[in-house]
Amino acid sequence: MAPAADKKLTGLVAATFTPITTQGEINLSVIGPYIDYLKEKQGVNSVFVNGTTGESMSLSVEERKILAEEWCQRAKGKMDQVIVHVGCLSLKDAQELARHAAQIEADGIAVIAPSFFKPSTADALKTFLREVASAAPTLPFYYYHIPSVTGVNVKARELIEGIEKMIPSFRGVKFSGNDLMDLGQCISYSPPHWSVLYGMDEQLLGALAMGAHGAVGSTYNYMGCHFNKLISAFEKGDLVQARTIQFKMQELLSFAMKLGFDVGVNKQLMNELSGLDLGPPRLPLMTCATAHALAIKQKYNSIFPEE
Ligand SMILES: CC(=O)N[C@H](C=O)[C@@H](O)[C@H](O)[C@H](O)CO
Ligand SMILES: CC(=O)C(=O)O
């Protein structure tokens, strides 16, 4: 059976942070207000939950289920799409999460390459993805390509070669790499009902020029409003304006990276900019000193003064 929710995934998709209490437990109460914030303040209408930014690999399978369910329930009638990342090191865990995502009526699932024992070939990775997808055959399936984190350097283009025969529910790639040739080759290979979404926010404009259908990233949590303007400018052919926004974002990010910028810092920056209480990250990520996030916030305010 073809996936039910065959709406093409486009535009900005926020890769959400996982709300955690100071005691280290997941904090579901923030998810409702978080969705309202994304929609109203950032103009972001889709989310990618339990991904890298959501610290999925540091969560238990049970926690991931509870989170995914809350996101799906709270997003009903408010968000266009909730994509649940279900990738795990264990195929069994990934299948369990994929089945669960279908039960809670997620709009799609995504899977990252396993990275402890790594697939040594595109075929090994494809077979792993097929086995996960087959646990939720009605859900649109996205491959999550992030070689800098997984250490799996299979080209995305090689991975998607003939994949629709193995995974009929295949609907695209979340491409978080800097190889624009590989990205372009994925886009030119994709049939119209697939989405290739870019995941390096600092160079989204390059990916749009290559034909990316949308973007999934962490900074859309708090800079979605600016990136929506970048995308509109690009679509109107106003490259000067689109570059101005991209360059400002790059200035902010390079400032943050010089100070040290990981998911813990990113999460604290989101706390400061949004006023939401997403809490600290989970170990091994370290809690970010407030002063550190405040310095980045100050830089943000100087680069993007309130209009
Ligand atoms: C490694 C990582 O977390 N990548 C994110 C998504 O793929 C991006 O959204 C980055 O956080 C963002 O581009 C800032 O570098
Ligand atoms: C950024 C992204 O897509 C993720 O956090 O999974």
pLDDT in tens, 9-57: 999 999 999 999 999 999 999 999 999 999 999 999 999 999 999 999 9
Which pairing describes strands 195-198 and 141-145: parallel, antiparallel, or unpaired?
unpaired
97 CB near ligand 2 (under 6 Å) = no
The pLDDT tens digits of the residues spanning 150-179 come to 999 999 999 999 999 999 999 999 999 999
123: amino acid identity, one letter: D
Phi, psi of 224 (to 5 degrees): -55, -40
Judge if pTM exceeds 0.80.
Answer: yes
Does residue 297 carry a pLDDT above 80?
yes
Centre of ligand 2 from the C-alpha of residue 234, in Å:
23
pLDDT band at 2 (very low <50, low <70, confident <90, very high): very low
- Nearest atom of ligand 1 to the alpha carbon of 263: 3
**Nearest protein CA to atom 9 of ligand 1, as residue:** 217
Binding residues: 53, 216
199 CB near ligand 2 (under 6 Å) = yes
ipTM here? 0.94
CA 263, CA 18: separation in Å to the nearest integer? 11
Strand, helix or coil at 193? coil
Centre of ligand 2 from the C-alpha of residue 223, in Å:
15
**Average pLDDT value for residue range 91-103:** 98
Binding residues for pyruvate: 53, 216
Does residue 60 carry a pLDDT above 80?
yes
* Superfamily for the 11-237 domain: Aldolase class I (3.20.20.70)
Strand, helix or coil at 58? helix
pLDDT band at 4 (very low <50, low <70, confident <90, very high): very low
The Cβ of residue 260 has, within 10 Å, a number of other Cβ atoms equal to 11
- Nearest atom of ligand 1 to the alpha carbon of 218: 9
Q: Which of 34, 65, 143, 174 is flagged as catalytic?
A: 174
Q: Name all contacts of 284-289 with Cβ < 8 Å and 24+ positions apart.
A: 284/58, 285/55, 285/58, 288/264
CB 111 within 8 A of CB 144: yes
| Percent above pLDDT 70 for the chain | 98
Q: What contacts 260, CB < 8 A, 6 or more positions away?
A: 292
**Nearest protein CA to atom 5 of ligand 1, as residue:** 217
246 CB near ligand 1 (under 6 Å) = no
Decide if 144 is catalytic. Answer: yes
277 CB near ligand 1 (under 6 Å) = no
The pLDDT tens digits of the residues spanning 126-150 come to 999 999 999 999 999 999 999 999 9
Ligand found nearest the CA of 52: 2
Identify the CA nearest to 270 among candidates 85, 107, 55, 110.
55
The pLDDT tens digits of the residues spanning 70-90 come to 999 999 999 999 999 999 999
Listing DSSP states for 124-178 in one string gives: HHHHHHHHHHTTSTTS-EEEEE-HHHH-----HHHHHTTHHHH-TTEEEEEE-SS
pLDDT band at 6 (very low <50, low <70, confident <90, very high): low
Centre of ligand 1 from the C-alpha of residue 145, in Å:
12
Using the structure block, give the residue that is written with the tokens 């997003």: 75
CA 272, CA 266: separation in Å to the nearest integer? 10
Give the start-to-end residue ranges of the domains of the chain. Answer: 11-237
83 CB near ligand 2 (under 6 Å) = no
Amino acid 306: pLDDT: 82
Amino acid 5: pLDDT: 47
Ligand found nearest the CA of 16: 2
**Average pLDDT value for residue range 253-258:** 97
Amino acid 307: pLDDT: 61
